[in-house]
Amino acid sequence: ARMTKASLVPPVTRKYEVIEKYLIVADEEEVQRKMRVALPDDYSEKLLSQKNGTENLEIPEVKDYQRRKVPGDEVLEQEVYGIDPYTHNLLRDIMPADVSLSSADKHTFIEELLLNTLNKQVRDFTGSGNTPMVYPLKPVIEEIQKSAEESGDRRTAKMCLGMLKAMRSRPEHNYVAYRKGLGVVCNKKGGFGMDDFVIEFFGEVYPSWRWYEKQDGIKHIQNNSEDQAPEFYNIMLERPKGDRDGYDLVFVDAMHKANYASRICHSCNPNCEAKVTAVDGQYQIGVYTVRPIAEGEEITFDYNSVTESKEEHEASVCLCGSQVCRGSYLNFSGEGAFEKVLMEFHGVLDRHSLLLQACEANTVSQQDLIDLGRAGLGTCLLAGLPGWLVAYTAQLVRFIFFERQKLPNEIFKHNMEEKRQFFTDINMDSERNDAEVQAEGVLNSRLQHLTHTLDKVGNYF
Ligand SMILES: C[S@@+](CC[C@H](N)C(=O)[O-])C[C@H]1O[C@@H](n2cnc3c(N)ncnc32)[C@H](O)[C@@H]1O
């Protein structure tokens, strides 16, 4: 599941009405159909092939119903703060050399001790109406030092003393954390285990066409006013491509009606994932832990969110504080090699030619069905559409597969050119692997866009 937009504005404290199930906003029957699970007939065999890596299409993940963690008891919604990559590096820089610490130890200190203590200190701001945008890190390190001394952890205490001394001698640097708004923190003694269920991501559910109609309305108002962009709290619920009836998607908007899942912040090294699971015959988005979580640790998942706007990408500074932080909680998809194959092989003439061929045929061939099936597009998305449109979709799917083959090389070349400007030691295997992953991301996003368009066009028939 991926968050679909985020804001350019500093965090606002929004209130929401708590709901305990999905609320469908339009086309109730249609949306229910899109959220219904259809397991493939040979589900067990496919599941096995997926585990062995021989199945390409993602198979539905069936889970038993599980109780969600109780807010105010097992988890807390509270003010949370974080640090940007610059501050992360500043802190690493002032760790004293005479305390023998591995690189991993240094990161653990920042990502676990420092962030957990920080969020403990700022908890009381919650609901006070008087929450600062920045918070100094000095009292955080002082508290860690004090408790390390009390528990006899001399190494940590010594490190804190060294850091505090360095902070005093470099007054020109700003050792501060920044506000992320409200977040969710584990409050259970002993913490949570691995692959533990936290909560469903509930909200109001929109079919694609209705969602975009609403977004167009919002954009129209924004264009005509001086107001800043509002915050967005929505996530896409995508049917797995290996479902018997195939891929499709709906939008879950948790802006006004939601639960605490909508408060969970992004991390580039998250302790949870938000994934689509099949529970009691229905698809839902569930937040599950991906590693054990300690009491006091903030609950996070990777938003996997993409923007085509460089401005948005740059404005969404990520405060997750992790060693692998990508710097922004919105991935940028706007330029570079991603468009190269599209520009070269799928220009205006090609697009029109494919459309004319599909209209002339006006029927769906056996090959079309095979290619659509390879992409995971089935009756859920295509039933009820005219023959020419299904045939045209098959033409586009063939282009998407063609692009998928060509793209890794283009992305690899582009990334190497960029990296050679800054690095001499480049791991080619990992670069090739990254290019494959990025090309797969482009394929998925093309299929998503195609699905949105078919949903909009489908409304005319
Ligand atoms: C889904 S909301 C999370 C809950 C939100 N903090 C609240 O108060 O309701 C997404 C917003 O939280 C903030 N946020 C989440 N993760 C962040 C991160 N890693 N760094 C900075 N801000 C973050 C951003 O303002 C973003 O638009």
Query: CB of 7 closer than 6 A to ligand 1?
Result: yes
233 CA → ligand 1 middle, Å: 9
Beta bridge partners of 71: 75
Atom of ligand 1 nearest to the CA of 264: 3
Query: CB of 265 closer than 6 A to ligand 1?
Result: yes
Q: How many CB atoms lie within 10 A of CB 153?
A: 15
111 contacts 103 by C-beta, under 8 angstroms: no
Tell me if residue 2 falls in helix, strand or coil: strand
Place of tokens 């691995």: 194
pLDDT at 228 exceeding the cut of 70: no
Atom of ligand 1 nearest to the CA of 303: 16
Atom of ligand 1 nearest to the CA of 12: 8
Beta strands in 85-203 (DSSP E): 134-136, 176-186, 197-200
pLDDT score at 334: 65
Query: CB of 400 closer than 6 A to ligand 1?
Result: no
Atom of ligand 1 nearest to the CA of 82: 20
For residue 390, which of 400, 376, 377 has the smallest C-alpha distance?
Answer: 377
Q: What CA–CA distance (Å, rounded) separates 362 from 381?
A: 18
Q: What CA–CA distance (Å, rounded) separates 239 from 39?
A: 11
Q: How many CB atoms lie within 10 A of CB 17?
A: 9
Each residue's pLDDT tens digit, 71-102: 999 999 999 999 999 999 999 999 998 888 88
Architecture of domain 2-7+17-69+191-332: Beta Complex (2.170)
Query: CB of 233 closer than 6 A to ligand 1?
Result: yes
Instruction: Name the band, by pLDDT with cuts 50, 70 and 90, for residue 104.
Output: confident
Can you give the residue ranges of every domain in the chain?
2-7+17-69+191-332, 75-186, 336-458
Q: What CA–CA distance (Å, rounded) separates 204 from 241?
A: 23
Cα–Cα–Cα angle for 407, 408, 412, rounded to 5 degrees? 120
Each residue's pLDDT tens digit, 397-431: 999 999 999 999 999 998 888 778 877 777 888 88
Which run of H or E residues covers position 284?
Answer: strand 282-289
For residues 317 and 425, the model is more confident at: 317
Query: CB of 82 closer than 6 A to ligand 1?
Result: yes
pLDDT at 231 exceeding the cut of 50: yes
Query: CB of 14 closer than 6 A to ligand 1?
Result: yes
Which run of H or E residues covers position 82?
Answer: strand 75-82
ipTM (interface pTM): 0.99
Query: CB of 321 closer than 6 A to ligand 1?
Result: no
- Residue by residue, DSSP assigns 105-139 as HHHHIIIIIIHHHHHHHHGGGTTSS---SEEESHH
5 CA → ligand 1 middle, Å: 11
Query: CB of 136 closer than 6 A to ligand 1?
Result: no
Total residue length of the chain: 461
For residues 296 and 99, the model is more confident at: 296
372 contacts 397 by C-beta, under 8 angstroms: yes
Cα–Cα–Cα angle for 281, 285, 288, rounded to 5 degrees? 110
For residue 357, which of 323, 392, 382 has the smallest C-alpha distance?
Answer: 392
